[in-house]
């Protein structure tokens, strides 16, 4: 296929290598600074090893979801998208939206021509950059605001100023009382949680509706094949329900619940279509 | 004395370095599809690109902004510069940082904890990349049989079911946490998709995301104000 060729591997490889270089750069800088401020090598190594070990399982979970992407986008581009910021749900939403707008058909039934592929690739790449833009324009300022301590005495602040540098803060900045700030923060967190849940429920709901509509749209069933996505959605929801309750006792399952449910749901399409095909004919 | 100057240096340079790296990666992310387009000798469909971008931005820019303001206080600036390039913040990086902070016993909000966060995100990102790359290597080696497998008539239905399977499971995990938020949007999608298939169907899901999003947000904010959900 055109999207699995050497030059595309090369392009993607360069980007992934750069991202790794950034990780190594920050790792070395932070490690050295840690040593310099008196942290022990043992502590720093502990952070490296525990984080590396901790990441193995969830990373394998991400690798498993790659099957959801490579059929449409090929191996190298899926590799890139799942290695950098983004997630399977984001990538699939972006790909589906681009396919629908470009062809009038859903991603699963659209023919991915090179033109459509490039359109999807741009939507995916540009649609997720807000976080990075915010880092460039606002992270310095935001972290300075966060570092301003509350309820400190002027003497403390002056001492801090001497230690860290002159331009960071001054006594008049500390009018807000700690409790008010905490309450505000809790409210913001609460409403943020509600908004995020509402947005994601809508996103999932639209796809759940799509599967229901394909099966029963217009109050009739077109053919047995149109019911299969609905069945596989039910299987995946059922699987998630089971895993969700299991993961309360087995925390490691958390990294896999979504990938396992998705894969079980997808694979259930095979027996479903074989069984329904035998009963209702092609 | 020299040490003091250096501390100040690290903190100040952190932002300069962070910005340079993130800008470089940002440019590379954007240039990648452009390079692929040039390599394939095709141009994107601009109209479709803009409208699809609208759909994606509506959902993901609001969450990206929320994530930014939520995560920075939790993980610190150095880790943020890296986490917003390497992604998987809520599912890998954040739990990884919390784990590393606990293992090393640093106090949250201190410079030590910021350093541990940065080291943690960097190590985690490298491990994810290595695992993904090894997986990709095997996939590439077996891409011939893989193609055949994908196009086998018994396997084909699997790929029609990716989106319903993923979003079904994901939807469950959100609704089970806040069931009340699910009621109105789910009733809405079932009714529209079943009763108005000309308007709402599998090929118009991206438009329906916006409509459902507005309804879901409005009902969620209403319920939040009335104290029905927290």
Same domain, A123 and A10: yes
Indicate if the pLDDT at residue B179 is higher than 80.
yes
pLDDT of residue A113: 94
Same domain, A123 and A183: no
What does the pLDDT average to over B154-162? 85
* Closest C-alpha to B72, from A185, A114, A247, A27: A185
Kindly determine whether residue A51 and residue B21, on different chains, have CB atoms separated by under 8 Å. no
* Closest C-alpha to B103, from A54, A114, A191: A54
pLDDT of residue B201: 85
Phi and psi (nearest 5°) for A69? -105, -35
Closest Cα in chain A, distance from residue B108 (Å): 12
Kindly determine whether residue B119 and residue A30, on different chains, have CB atoms separated by under 8 Å. yes
Q: Which pLDDT band holds residue A254 (cuts at 50, 70, 90)?
A: confident
pLDDT of residue A185: 62
Q: Which pLDDT band holds residue A81 (cuts at 50, 70, 90)?
A: very high
Residue ending a domain, among A95, A111, A128, is A128
Q: Which pLDDT band holds residue A164 (cuts at 50, 70, 90)?
A: very low
Strand residues in chain B grouped as ranges (E): none
Show residues of chain A in contact with B15, CB under 8 Å.
Answer: 139-140
Contact A280, A244 (CB under 8 A): no
B74 touches chain A (CB under 8 A): no
Search chain A and give the residue with CA nearest B80.
A135
Question: In the 8-state DSSP scheme, what is residue A127?
Answer: T
pLDDT of residue A178: 55
pLDDT of residue A52: 93
Distance, CA of A211 to CA of A227 (rounded, Å): 8
pTM metric for this prediction:
0.79
Q: Which residues of B50-78 are buried (b: 16+ CB within 10 A; e: fewer)?
A: ebbbebbbbbbbbbbebbbebbbbebbbb
Closest Cα in chain B, distance from residue A158 (Å): 16
- Other C-beta atoms lying within 10 Å of the C-beta of residue A140: 17
Indicate if the pLDDT at residue B177 is higher than 60.
yes
Same domain, A112 and A193: no
CA distances from A47 to A27, A141, B97 (A): 11, 28, 9
A70, part of any domain = yes
Which one of B97, B164, B223 makes the best mutation probe of the A interface by having the most chain A beta carbons within 10 Å? Answer: B164
Q: Residues B140-148: contacts with CB within 8 Å, 24+ apart?
A: B140/A4, B140/A9, B140/A75, B143/A4, B143/A75, B146/A70, B147/A1
- Per the structure, the complete domain to which residue A13 belongs is given by 2-128
Which one of A26, A66, A251, A253 makes the best mutation probe of the B interface by having the most chain B beta carbons within 10 Å? Answer: A26
Q: For A204, which of B73, B167, B188 is closest by C-beta distance? A: B167
What does the pLDDT average to over A183-211? 83
Show residues of chain B in contact with A93, CB under 8 Å.
Answer: 55-56, 59-60, 206, 209
Show residues of chain A in contact with B127, CB under 8 Å.
Answer: 51-52, 55-56, 59
B positions 151-170 inside 8 Å of A (CB)? 154-155, 157-170
Question: In the 8-state DSSP scheme, what is residue B69?
Answer: H
CA distances from B216 to A49, A193, A212, B21, B184 (A): 42, 14, 18, 37, 7
A179 touches chain B (CB under 8 A): no
Contact A73, B139 (CB under 8 A): no
A267, part of any domain = yes
Q: Which pLDDT band holds residue B144 (cuts at 50, 70, 90)?
A: confident
Distance, CA of B140 to CA of B76 (rounded, Å): 37
Contact A192, B221 (CB under 8 A): no
Structure token pair of residue A176: 């807000």
CA torsion sign, A100 to A103 to A107 to A113? negative
Same domain, A112 and A203: no
Indicate if the pLDDT at residue A167 is higher than 50.
no
pLDDT of residue A251: 80
Same domain, A106 and A26: yes
Search chain B and give the residue with CA nearest A210.
B202
- A40-72 pLDDT, tens digit per residue, is 999 999 999 999 998 888 888 888 888 788 888
Search chain B and give the residue with CA nearest A117.
B44
Q: For A39, which of B59, B115, B216 is closest by C-beta distance? A: B115
Count the domains in chain A: 2
B179 touches chain A (CB under 8 A): no
pLDDT of residue B71: 84
Q: For A22, which of B25, B40, B70 is closest by C-beta distance? A: B25
Share of chain B above pLDDT 70, in %: 97
Structure token pair of residue B75: 């993980």
CA distances from A102 to A67, B204, B225 (A): 23, 12, 40
Contact A266, B150 (CB under 8 A): no
Search chain A and give the residue with CA nearest B176.
A241
Distance of CA B54 to the CA centre of its chain: 17
B positions 95-114 inside 8 Å of A (CB)? 95-97, 99-100, 103-104, 106, 111-112
Show residues of chain A in contact with B17, CB under 8 Å.
Answer: 25-26, 29
Closest Cα in chain A, distance from residue B229 (Å): 8
Q: Which residues of B187-207 are buried (b: 16+ CB within 10 A; e: fewer)?
A: ebbbebbbeebeebbbbbbbb
Q: What are the structural domain ranges in chain B?
A: 161-225
Q: Where are the alpha helices (DSSP H) in B142-178?
A: 143-150, 156-160, 162-175
A272, part of any domain = yes
A168, part of any domain = no
Place of tokens 């201190």: B110
Question: In the 8-state DSSP scheme, what is residue A152?
Answer: -
Same domain, A210 and A112: no
- Other C-beta atoms lying within 10 Å of the C-beta of residue A229: 30
Indicate if the pLDDT at residue B167 is higher than 60.
yes
> Who wins on pLDDT, A143 or B84?
B84
Distance of CA A245 to the CA centre of its chain: 22
CA distances from A29 to A24, A168, B11, B99, B127 (A): 9, 22, 11, 21, 18
Q: For A18, which of B25, B174, B186 is closest by C-beta distance? A: B25
Distance, CA of A2 to CA of A10 (rounded, Å): 14
A159, part of any domain = no
Crossing angle of helices A67-83/A88-103, nearest 10°?
110
Phi and psi (nearest 5°) for B169? -65, -45
Same domain, A17 and A102: yes
Indicate if the pLDDT at residue A1 is higher than 90.
no
Show residues of chain B in contact with A282, CB under 8 Å.
Answer: none
- A214-226 pLDDT, tens digit per residue, is 999 989 888 888 9
Kindly determine whether residue B30 and residue A218, on different chains, have CB atoms separated by under 8 Å. no
Coil, helix or strand at residue B142: coil
A164, part of any domain = no
A170, part of any domain = no
Same domain, A115 and A193: no
Please list, in sequence order, all residues whose beta carbon lies within 8 angstroms of the beta carbon of residue B149, skipping any fewer than 6 positions away. B155
């Amino acid at each position: 296929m055109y999207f699995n060729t050497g030059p595309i591997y090369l392009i993607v490889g360069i980007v992934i290598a750069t991202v790794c270089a950034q990780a190594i750069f920050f790792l070395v800088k932070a490690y050295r600074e840690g040593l310099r401020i008196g942290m022990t090598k043992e502590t720093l190594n502990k952070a490296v090893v525990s984080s590396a070990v901790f990441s193995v399982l969830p990373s394998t979970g991400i690798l498993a979801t790659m099957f959801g992407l490579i059929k449409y986008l090929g191996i190298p581009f899926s590799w890139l998208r799942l290695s950098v910021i983004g997630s399977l749900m984001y990538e699939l939403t972006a790909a589906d939206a681009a396919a629908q707008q470009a062809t009038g058909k859903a991603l699963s039934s659209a023919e991915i021509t090179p033109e459509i592929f490039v359109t999807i690739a741009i939507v995916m790449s540009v649609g997720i950059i807000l976080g990075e833009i915010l880092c460039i324009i606002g992270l310095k300022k935001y972290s300075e605001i966060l570092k301003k301590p509350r309820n400190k005495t002027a003497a403390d602040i002056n001492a801090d100023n001497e230690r860290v540098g002159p331009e960071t803060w001054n006594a008049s900045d500390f009018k807000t009382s700690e409790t008010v700030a905490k309450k505000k923060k809790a409210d913001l967190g609460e409403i943020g949680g509600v908004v995020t849940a509402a947005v994601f429920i809508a996103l999932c709901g639209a796809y759940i509706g799509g599967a229901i509509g394909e099966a029963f749209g217009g109050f009739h069933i077109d053919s047995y094949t149109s019911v299969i996505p609905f069945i596989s959605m039910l299987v995946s929801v059922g699987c998630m329900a089971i895993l969700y309750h299991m993961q309360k006792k087995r925390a490691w399952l958390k990294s896999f619940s979504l990938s396992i449910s998705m894969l079980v749901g997808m694979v259930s399409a095979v027996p479903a279509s074989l069984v329904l095909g035998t009963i209702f004919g092609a | 004395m020299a040490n003091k100057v250096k501390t100040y240096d690290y903190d100040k340079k952190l932002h300069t370095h962070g910005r340079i790296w993130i800008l470089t990666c940002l440019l590379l992310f954007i240039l990648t599809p452009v390079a692929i387009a040039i390599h394939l000798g095709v141009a994107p469909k601009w109209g479709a690109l803009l409208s699809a971008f609208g759909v994606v931005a509506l959902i993901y820019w609001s969450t990206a902004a929320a994530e930014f303001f939520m995560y920075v206080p939790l993980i610190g600036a150095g880790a943020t510069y890296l986490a917003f390039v390497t992604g998987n913040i809520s599912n890998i990086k954040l739990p990884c940082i919390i784990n590393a902070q606990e293992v090393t016993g640093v106090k949250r909000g201190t410079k030590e904890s910021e350093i541990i966060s940065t080291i943690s995100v960097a190590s985690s990102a490298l491990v994810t990349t290595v695992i993904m790359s090894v997986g990709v290597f095997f996939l590439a080696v077996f891409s011939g049989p893989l193609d055949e497998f994908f196009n086998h008539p018994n396997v084909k239905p699997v790929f029609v079911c990716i989106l319903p399977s993923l979003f079904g499971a994901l939807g469950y995990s959100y609704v089970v946490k806040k069931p009340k938020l699910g009621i109105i949007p789910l009733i809405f999608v079932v009714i529209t998709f079943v009763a108005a298939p000309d308007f709402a169907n599998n090929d118009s899901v991206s438009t329906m995301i916006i409509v459902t999003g507005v309804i879901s947000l409005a009902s969620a904010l209403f319920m939040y104000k009335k104290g029905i959900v927290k």
